[in-house]
Structure 1
Amino acid sequence: MSSVYLANFTKCSLIVPETRIIAGLLLQGVEPREWERQVYELNVLQKRTAKTAATYANLARTRLQTMEEDLWYLVHEGSMPVATHAVLAATVKFSPLFGDFLRTVVRDQFRRFSTHLELRHWDAYIEDCQRAQPDMPGLSDSTRGKLRQNAIRMLAEAGFIEDTRSLRLRSQAIEPAVLNYLRQQNEQYVLDCLQVCP
């Protein structure tokens, strides 16, 4: 990707259950006033504060809007594995900083027959990114920590590692329905990011 890397996943990970709800609202074509009613008044995402609800709703919508309605349908109506990989696809397109970690570092660990990912892999990757992209915004220690935490969570949620503690790598086949959508839409970058396992 040629765009400057952005630290745009500090607030949450894949948030699949919430994104399924937001996909439903997008498919209904709700107007702004109804969107606010659903998110704030009805609290469809079941969050404790309006701020958290808004953060999750807006991030889920922005990720989904990088893709077409057919993907929204997979998120909303698909099985949990399909929805998860569909959300992962939208997240990768919205967050190339995470996508390129999958495409380069995680793929490399599988090629090396490594059994585990290590936290230092993410830290070294961020250092490399900042050297390669002088225009990349500077990252505070807390921002780096949040990015790493959510990157690892997303890998676990998508099935590329067993859990966030062991970091044991798992070969993960992407759901065919998601692959079909990405191929039909010529989303080659996203395909490259998702298909990293042997």
Structure 2
Amino acid sequence: LVKAWEAIILEKKVLVISNTDSIITACVEFLRRMMSPLVIVNTYVPLLPLQLIETVDAPVPYLLGSNTKMLKDNVFDLSDTVVVDLDTRSVTQNINKSGKPETHASINLISRLTQEVNDVMVVPLGEWSQRATNAYPTHSPCSPFSEQGYVTRGAKVLQIFRKANLDLISARNCSVKAFWRRAAETTLMNAQNASN
């Protein structure tokens, strides 16, 4: 999730693939929602129809979903594309051949987001053992394995990324010092603007 978020934030090409169309659509939509309150202005197609498969070769950033079978029948250059394979649970980013310097989010930001997402998504061992002994019935609404448990965790993950996006908008995590402001500086600037 964090690698895909980074690619979308940095306006790279992101292609989500799987053999199951319904999973592709849901995952691409989840990735789009992770960008809130930002709006994706790039090409966004949750599930490419066969007639539009050549969109994968577009020279502009995009967020696309495609069935793996459609890609195997065609030869596409995905060297500058971040490929999220849902079947193998992997994210592949090919080597930059353009000679342009690669842009990445800060390591601290990526590490923090990864830890926060893992804290939400990884079910503690005790809950797994309780499930195995039927102490946690899977149909119980309080079970982390119920539909409501998954929805709750999904909402928490969206909240993590929403906060990260707001931090980026307010330049709290910007690596360029000119864009970084302390809270006191922002308050002083707002007061000066209000008095003018």
TM-score by length of 1: 0.23
Q: Say which structure, 1 or 2, has more relative contact order (CA 8 Å, 6+ apart).
A: 1
The structure richer in strand per residue is: 2
TM-score by length of 2: 0.23
Q: Which has the larger radius of gyration?
A: 2
The structure richer in helix per residue is: 1
